[in-house]
Amino acid sequence: MSHTDIHAYLAEFDDIPGTRVFTAKRARQGYHLNQFAMSLMKAENRERFKADERAYLDDWAISEEAKLAVLARDYNALLDMGGNIYFLSKLFSTDGIAFAEAVSTMTDMSWPEYRQMMLEGGRSPEGVRSIREGR
C-alpha cells in the first residue's frame, strides 16, 4: 500500500494556472453557496429566485460578497469563495444559458471567441500545466 503525503498532494494543486481544485477547504468555505445553488434544482425554487433574486439569497447563510457575486454572475469570484462548477451550473440552467457560454465568462474570451477556440480543437495545455515549471 503506497502512502500519499496529503500536504504535498494538496500543495501541488496551487501550481496549476487558472484552476481552482475543489478541495475540502473550498468545500467548507462554499458549503452554503453550493447548497443555495443546489436548491435551484426544483422548479418552484427557480421561480421564486427569478421573481426576487435578492430576497431568495437572503434566506441563505452566505456572505454579502457571495450574494453580490451571484447577482453579478461573477463565476470566477464564486469559485474563489468555494463555489463548485457543478453546483453553480444550476444557476446557468436557471438563466437558460448554455454550459459552455457560462464557462466562457470565466476566461478572457467572449462567448463567440471561446466557441471558435473549441471548434478549432480547444485550449492547448502548452504553457498552462505548471506555474513553477513554466510548461
Partner 1 sequence: MARITAGVGSSHVPLLGVAHDQGKERDDYFGPIFAGYDWTREWEKREKPDVVILVYNDHASAFDMKIIPTFAIGCGERYAPADEGWGPRKVPDVIGHPDLAWHIAQSLVLDEFDMTIINEMDVDHGLTVPLSMMFGACEQWPTTVIPLAVNVVTYPPPSGNRCWALGEAIARAVESFPEDLNVQIWGTGGMSHQLQGARAGLINPEWDNRFLDLLEADNDAVRHIPHIEYLRETGSEGIEMVMWLIMRGALGPRVKTLHRHYHVPCSNTAIGHIVLAPD
Q: What grid cell was written down for 39?
A: 436548491
Q: What grid cell was written down for 12?
A: 501541488
Phi and psi at residue 60, to the nearest 5° = -115, 145
Of 56, 57, 62, 94, the residue at the interface with partner 1 (CB under 8 A) is 94
Nearest CA-CA partner of 92 in 84, 82, 62: 84
Check residue 93 for interaction with partner 1 (CB under 8 A). Answer: yes
Check residue 90 for interaction with partner 1 (CB under 8 A). Answer: yes
Q: How far is the CB of 79 from partner 1 (least distance, A)?
A: 6
Query: 45 to 84, contacts with partner 1 by CB under 8 A?
Result: 46, 75-76, 79, 84
Residue 52 CB-half CA count within 13 A: 4
Looking up cell 495545455 gives 125
Name the site residues for partner 1 (rule: CB under 8 A).
2, 4, 9-10, 12-13, 16-24, 27, 31, 34-35, 37-38, 40-43, 46, 75-76, 79, 84-87, 89-90, 92-94, 96, 98-100, 103-104, 106-108, 114, 117-119, 121-125, 128-130
